Chains A and B, each alone.
Chain A
Amino acid sequence: NAGVTQTPKFQVLKTGQSMTLQCAQDMNHEYMSWYRQDPGMGLRLIHYSVGAGITDQGEVPNGYNVSRSTTEDFPLRLLSAAPSQTSVYFCASMVGTIVGNIQYFGAGTRLSVL
């Protein structure tokens, strides 16, 4: 199993450009989510999905779109990049266990918007 795979690892955009951050998991997890991490702010939920065809907003959804056409893939789209979206983005999948719902994180995408 590769786990959760994110691409690209690094990206530099100009203000106003659009792009898609890719996320794929091979563990057949129904739940997937996107977070952004800024210094001193912890991990903030952008969007999440509880299964193919179902998505919902998290804490900071503005400026981002998601779709979930398959169980494996959960891409995050930046519609018109802004400097405020400079951040590290983590994708995660989650599975229910006897203890609780355990999350697995991708390696992250470091995005700079100039």
Chain B
Amino acid sequence: GENVEQHPSTLSVQEGDSAVIKCTYSDSASNYFPWYKQELGKRPQLIIDIRSNVGEKKDQRIAVTLNKTAKHFSLHITETQPEDSAVYFCAAIPLGYQKVTFGTGTKLQVIP
């Protein structure tokens, strides 16, 4: 089955700096890679996603890059703000309705 590794587990940055979170996956059948943000005590919320036929996707201050050959994808947050502080999860999903595999999460702290 699929295995998703996520690094780092914790990340502290100064407000205004950039943050990068990386995930690797094992199953070449995975073709959809969403990123979720989870604030304390809340449900995970989808913030950005990418399909395997796309190398990069950007939405304002967040972007995701995918290297299908190396089987890794990354979340980039620029100009970080205190409200970006949360736990971020990556996931890998294969074609069709199959099991979704999540990374173990990264706790991002943005220091004002």
A residues neighboring B (CB under 8 Å): 30-31, 33, 35, 40-45, 48, 50, 58-59, 90, 94, 96, 99-103, 105-108
The main secondary structure of chain A at its interface with chain B is: strand
Say yes or no: A105 contacts B43, CB within 8 Å: yes
Instruction: Give the tally of cross-chain contacts (CB within 8 A).
Output: 57
Q: What's the Cα separation between A99 and B57 when bound, in Å? A: 12
**Cβ contact within 8 Å between B103 and A100:** no
A102 CA / B35 CA spacing, docked (Å): 11
Whether B43 pairs with A106 at a CB distance below 8 angstroms is yes
Residues of A within 8 A of B100 (CB): 33, 45, 94, 101, 103
* Cβ contact within 8 Å between A30 and B97: yes
- Write the residues of chain B forming the contact surface with A, with a CB cutoff of 8 angstroms: 6, 9, 31-34, 42-46, 49, 51, 89, 93, 97, 99-105
Smallest beta-carbon distance B32→chain A, Å: 3
Whole-angstrom CA separation of A43 from B89 in the bound complex: 9
The winner among B97, B101, B103 for most chain A CB atoms within 10 A is: B97
Chain B hits for A31, CB < 8 A = 97
Q: With a CB–CB cut-off of 8 A, which chain A residues contact B99?
A: 45, 48, 58-59
Q: A42-B103, A48-B99, A50-B97 are in contact. Are A101 and B43 (CB under 8 A)?
A: no
Given the interface contacts A41-B104, A42-B102, A48-B99, does A99 sit within 8 Å of B44 by beta carbon? no
A-B pairs with beta carbons under 8 Å apart, 13 shown: A35-B102, A42-B6, A42-B89, A43-B44, A43-B89, A44-B102, A45-B100, A59-B99, A100-B31, A100-B51, A105-B43, A105-B44, A108-B43
Partner among B32, B101, B104, B105 whose Cβ is within 8 Å of the Cβ of A100 = B32
Tell me, in angstroms, the Cα distance from A101 to B99 when the chains sit together: 11
User: Which residues of A sit under 8 angstroms from B105, Cβ to Cβ?
Assistant: 40, 42
Closest Cβ–Cβ distance, residue A44 to chain B (whole Å): 8
Q: A100-B49, A100-B51 are in contact. Are A90 and B31 (CB under 8 A)?
A: no
